């Protein structure tokens, strides 16, 4: 382990190509969303690399002849220190099931395992503690509940219809709003519009979804809208985490989802939920999506109308609370961005 230098990679320089070339040998690539990359060199040659994006460590590889020499520990220390200094204390790693022991030996814990992918957590993360705190903060009691997980980019009449259905058929309903800030409507706005849009339903509680429900940690493909070989693994992982931790802590017995005519990623996700959640004692209720003038109501269609400036048509598809927001000064920046 002598003569090894670890340094940050300038992702805009030629060194990036070198890293990509190195990762290729491991059948890996440097993901587009990588924020920070380090690399270890011996006599000028790359022997290892690791990156992070948000809370997730990724694109991790060590040259075969250097494995087992302690280089992984050095790379993880270096990167964890950088993240810590940026205020990221809770970290995650995805890996193939066959590699999980490497990270377990480095202080990472398995959150959940699907057929083709394992999610591990490190730093100060602890899924049990986190979900228990979520439940405590929600102020809910331990009675049986129905749940929905929605992004609401932005909140439409379709979302409201689905929540109303759940509210009619159940004593208590909890709505998790996807917290990851990767949508054109910021999380705070999305959460606020859902809260306002369902304030007439007394048995509905709207809360932030946190790290473990459709986040970059449980389900990265959701945000990349990528239908690739990893999608099945990720949908399964997210569904299992929901069943094992969230449903258990909140005593959720049913999860409502809307039919998905447009987005193949969401469609696959629904299918994974229907297959996996019943194993954890959670029924999945698939509700036919609301249609207005023979067209299913969807947030992506609403965004398209906003882009074309057809605000009168938008008005028919969203609750008044959402519409009032869209024509307010606060929404100007968001609408500019949608119009691109």
Partner 1 sequence: MKILKPAKAGTYESNDIYIMIQPNDNGIKIELESIVMKQFGKRIEEVIKETLEKLEVKDAYVVAKDRGALDYTVSARVETAVKRAGVEK
Chain residues that interact with partner 1, rule: CB under 8 A = 70, 73-74, 76-77, 80-81, 84, 87, 89, 105-107, 109, 122-124, 126
- Identify which of residues 69 and 304 has a Cβ nearer to partner 1 in the complex: 69
- Identify which of residues 38 and 224 has a Cβ nearer to partner 1 in the complex: 38
- Identify which of residues 84 and 262 has a Cβ nearer to partner 1 in the complex: 84
| Least distance to partner 1, CB of residue 72, Å | 8
Q: How far apart are CA 47 and CA 39, in angstroms?
A: 8
| Least distance to partner 1, CB of residue 94, Å | 18
| Least distance to partner 1, CB of residue 100, Å | 14
| Least distance to partner 1, CB of residue 78, Å | 9
| Least distance to partner 1, CB of residue 109, Å | 7
SS3 state of residue 113: strand
The helix (H) or strand (E) run that includes residue 207 is: strand 204-208
Q: Tokens 């964890």 correspond to what residue?
A: 80
Provide the pairing of β-strand 145-150 with 118-123.
unpaired
- Identify which of residues 132 and 288 has a Cβ nearer to partner 1 in the complex: 132
- Identify which of residues 122 and 258 has a Cβ nearer to partner 1 in the complex: 122
- Identify which of residues 110 and 292 has a Cβ nearer to partner 1 in the complex: 110
Going by the DSSP 8-state scheme, the letter that residue 214 receives in this structure is: S
Burial of 294 (0-12, 13-18, 19+ CB in 10 A): exposed
Burial of 182 (0-12, 13-18, 19+ CB in 10 A): middle
| Least distance to partner 1, CB of residue 322, Å | 38
| Least distance to partner 1, CB of residue 103, Å | 10
Quick check: 233 and 94 in contact, CB under 8 A? no
Angle at CA 131, nearest 5°, toward 110 and 149?
100
Going by the DSSP 8-state scheme, the letter that residue 122 receives in this structure is: E
Burial of 149 (0-12, 13-18, 19+ CB in 10 A): buried
- Identify which of residues 125 and 322 has a Cβ nearer to partner 1 in the complex: 125
């Amino acid at each position: 382990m002598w003569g090894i230098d670890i340094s940050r990679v300038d992702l805009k320089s030629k060194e990036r190509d070198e890293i990509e070339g190195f990762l290729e040998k491991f059948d890996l690539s440097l993901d587009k969303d990588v924020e920070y990359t380090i690399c270890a060199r011996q006599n000028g040659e790359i022997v290892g690399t690791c990156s992070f994006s948000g809370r997730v460590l990724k694109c991790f590889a060590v040259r075969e002849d250097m494995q087992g020499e302690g280089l992984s520990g050095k790379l993880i220390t270096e990167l964890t220190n950088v993240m810590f200094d940026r205020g990221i204390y809770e970290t995650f790693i995805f890996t193939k099931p066959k590699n999980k022991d490497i990270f377990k030996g480095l202080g990472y814990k398995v959150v959940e395992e699907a057929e083709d992918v394992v999610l591990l957590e490190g730093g100060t993360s602890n899924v049990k503690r986190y979900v228990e705190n979520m439940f405590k903060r929600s102020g809910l009691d331990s009675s049986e509940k129905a749940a929905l997980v929605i992004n609401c980019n932005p909140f439409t009449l379709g979302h409201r219809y689905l929540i109303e259905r759940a509210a009619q058929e159940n004593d208590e309903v909890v709505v998790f709003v996807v917290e990851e800030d990767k949508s054109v409507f910021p999380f705070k706005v999305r959460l606020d519009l859902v809260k306002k849009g369902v304030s007439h339903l007394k048995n509905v509680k709207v809360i932030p979804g946190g790290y473990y429900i459709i986040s970059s940690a449980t389900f990265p493909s959701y945000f990349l809208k990528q239908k690739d070989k990893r999608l099945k693994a990720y949908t399964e992982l997210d569904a299992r985490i929901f069943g094992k931790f969230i449903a258990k802590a909140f005593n959720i017995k049913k999860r409502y989802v809307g039919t998905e005519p447009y987005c193949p990623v969401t469609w696959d996700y629904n299918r994974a939920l229907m297959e996996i959640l019943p194993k954890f004692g959670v029924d999945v209720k698939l509700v036919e999506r609301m249609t207005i003038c023979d067209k299913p109501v969807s947030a992506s269609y609403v965004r398209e109308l906003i882009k074309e400036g057809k605000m009168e048509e938008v008005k028919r598809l969203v609750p008044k609370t959402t519409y009032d927001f869209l024509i307010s000064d606060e929404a100007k920046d968001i609408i500019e961005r949608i119009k691109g």
